[in-house]
Amino acid sequence: MKNEPVRSEAVGISEEILRKWEAKGVSRRDFIKFCTTMTATLALPLTFAPKIAAALEDKRLPVIWVEYQSCSGDSEAFLRANQPTAAEIILDIISLEYAEVVMAAAGHQAEKSKWDAMEKYKGKYLLIVEGSIPTGEGGVYCTVGGESAVESAKKLIKNAAATITVGTCASYGGLPAAAPNPTTAVGVRDLVPGATIVNLPGCPVNADNLTATLVHFLTFGKLPAVDAIGRPKFAYGKRIHDNCERRAHFDAGQYAESFDDAGHRQGHCLYKLGCKGPEAFHNCPTIRYNEGLSWPVMAGHGCIGCASPGFWDTMSPFYRRLPQVPGFGVEATADKIGLGLVGATAAAFAVHGVASAFRKGDAMESDKVKVEE
Ligand code: SF4
């Protein structure tokens, strides 16, 4: 692969930069692919590829990655990133100063390296937070090195250049914050209101979105533009339902009725099996997972709205269909309608009841999409 001819002039990345990456073991083809993928993910014109390539050269962004109330799913997702590999990102783009899942140090030695890094790179490092923060009972439900997550997170956020939350737990509380929320778990933005934060919710975070956010910070020196709930618009600006490959079947009234029927085998819409795509905002259908191989709806399972605030309470029961689908089109944005929809989901279930909400008469109302029983 390394020796295959590549038309680098097509994207304008200099030979000098390509040769440097080749010397580090990254083929010119892979590096060009990485830069063009990043421009596409960030919704930038291809002409930004040379700017991104130049920004990545010789830069080592200090990063501290902390984990609180979580399952480590976001760390796992990042370590399995293959575009480029996590090792390439860690070694060549960022300087990972502290990350419990991958570091060799443990105990007091690890704690010391975290606080040393905070002092050394004060105001310059990026903080990545994984997991929610339990605030109940003075924060006793999660302590690291004898210090509560509440106190630790506040210090690290205050001294960081910016904070990225990975996963829905760190962004909005996620599963630990689901009713009855026994630990009074919150997301980072609720712990430190007004801090410079970008939220990358999802269960887990899509590693490509995290990589793109890091690349944006390196290239432009700031976090990407966000929506009303702190999510980058490049990744959460579009409704899943509007980019779904099963959408034509939804519009045609072709639905899978069970996970083993003919409609399911033929790729029909999963709406009646509980898909929350009409109320969820994420770029899953366009960037997918595992090098763009697939995503849940493509694999045959409905979206569960895992990147939404209030997940899981607002999106469960997962296999019960939404009581109504507003009739807006692809021009709809998360800023305009996302907040209202998220809050409305659970309430709509409670108020209407699933059976009554789908009476044919209801579905014929002008502001709803027609759904057959
Ligand atoms: S309801 Fe779900 S499966 Fe059907 S088109 Fe919308 S996002 Fe796709």
Whether residues 184 and 317 share a domain: the answer is no
Residue 98 lies in a domain: yes
Distance CA 142, CA 139 (A): 6
Of the residues 202, 217, 234, the one at which a domain ends:
234
Mutate-to-test residue for ligand 1 from 269, 283, 319, highest number of ligand atoms within 8 A of CB: 269
The CATH number of the domain holding residue 257 is: 4.10.480.10
Ligand 1 geometric centre to CA of 227 (Å):
23
Distance CA 69, CA 8 (A): 44
For residues 290 and 153, state if they share a domain.
Answer: no
Give me the CATH number covering residue 137: 3.40.50.700
Does residue 95 share a domain with residue 30? no
> What count of Cα atoms within 13 Å lies in the side-chain half-sphere of residue 285?
21
Counting ligand 1 atoms within 8 A of each CB, the residue from 303, 308, 320, 371 with the most, and so the one to mutate, is: 303
**Can you tell me the distance from the alpha carbon of 292 to that of 281, in angstroms, rounded to the nearest whole number?**
18
Is 0.75 topped by the overall pTM? yes
- Radius of gyration over alpha carbons of the chain, in Å? 22
Mean pLDDT across 177-206: 96
Instruction: Tell me the per-residue pLDDT of 139-175, one tens digit each, with 9 for 90 and over.
Output: 999 999 899 999 999 999 999 999 999 999 999 999 9
Q: Is 297 in the pocket of ligand 1 (CB under 6 A)?
A: yes
Mean pLDDT across the stretch 293-301?
96
pLDDT score, position 366: 30
Within a domain: 112: yes
User: Which pLDDT band holds residue 85 (cuts at 50, 70, 90)?
Assistant: low
Please tell me the distance between residue 301's alpha carbon and the centre of ligand 1 in angstroms: 10
Biggest CA pair distance of the chain: 67
Q: How far is Cα 116 from Cα 114, in angstroms, rounded to an integer?
A: 5
**How confident is residue 367, by pLDDT bands cut at 50, 70 and 90?**
very low
Judgement on whether residues 120 and 246 belong to the same structural domain of the protein? no
In this structure, which residue's CA is closest to atom 5 in ligand 1?
247
74 and 181 in a single domain? The answer is: yes
168 backbone dihedrals φ, ψ, rounded to 5°: -70, -30
Query: Where a domain ends, among 211, 234, 257?
Result: 234
CB-CB contact of 118 with 154 (8 Å): no
Q: Are residues 347 and 330 in the same domain?
A: yes
Contact 301, 287 (CB under 8 A): no
Number of structural domains, the chain? Answer: 3
Q: At what angle do helices 28-41 and 49-56 cross, to 10 degrees?
A: 120
The answer on 41 and 181 residing in a single domain is: no
Q: How many CB atoms lie within 10 A of CB 218?
A: 18
Q: What is the pLDDT of residues 328-346, one digit of tens each?
A: 444 444 455 444 444 444 4
Residue 3 lies in a domain: no
Q: Are residues 264 and 226 in the same domain?
A: no
Per the DSSP assignment, residues forming a β-bridge with 198 are: 164
272 lies in the same domain as 325: yes
Does residue 188 sit in the same domain as residue 243?
no
Q: Quick one: average pLDDT of 44-71? A: 91
Q: Write out the E strands in 277-333.
A: none
Output the pLDDT for position 60: 84
Residue 192 maps to a domain: yes
Residues 223 and 305 in one domain: no
- In the chain, the N- to C-terminal Cα span, in Å, equals 53
Report yes or no on 187 lying in a domain: yes
163 exposed, middle or buried (CB, 10 Å; 0-12, 13-18, 19+)? Answer: buried
Q: How far is Cα 285 from Cα 321, in angstroms, rounded to an integer?
A: 20
In a domain, 2, yes or no: no
Question: Does 42 contact ligand 1 (Cβ within 6 A)?
Answer: no
Q: Which of 268, 272, 273, 275 to mutate to test the pocket of ligand 1 (most atoms within 8 A of CB)?
A: 275
Tell me whether residue 372 is in a domain.
no
Domain that holds residue 27: 10-52
Q: Are residues 137 and 118 in the same domain?
A: yes
Residue 232: strand, helix, or coil: strand
**Residue that has been written with the tokens 């072709």 in this structure:** 254
Distance 278 CA to ligand 1 centre (A): 7
Band the pLDDT of 83: cuts 50, 70, 90: low
**Whether residue 178 has pLDDT greater than 90:** yes
Residue 76 in any domain: the answer is yes
Distance 254 CA to ligand 1 centre (A): 11
Give alpha helix (H) positions in the chain: 15-23, 28-41, 49-56, 73-79, 86-88, 107-120, 149-159, 168-172, 188-191, 207-220, 233-236, 240-243, 247-251, 262-265, 284-287, 296-299, 339-352, 354-357, 360-363
Indicate the top mutation candidate among 268, 270, 273 to test ligand 1's pocket, ranked by most ligand atoms within 8 A of CB. 270
Question: Backbone dihedral region of 348: left (phi > 0), alpha (psi from -120 to 50 degrees) or beta?
Answer: alpha
Q: Tell me, using a 6 A CB cutoff, whether residue 272 lines ligand 1.
A: no
Angle at 310 between CA 306 and CA 313, to 5 degrees: 85
Residue 96's Cβ-side half-sphere holds a number of Cα atoms within 13 Å equal to 22
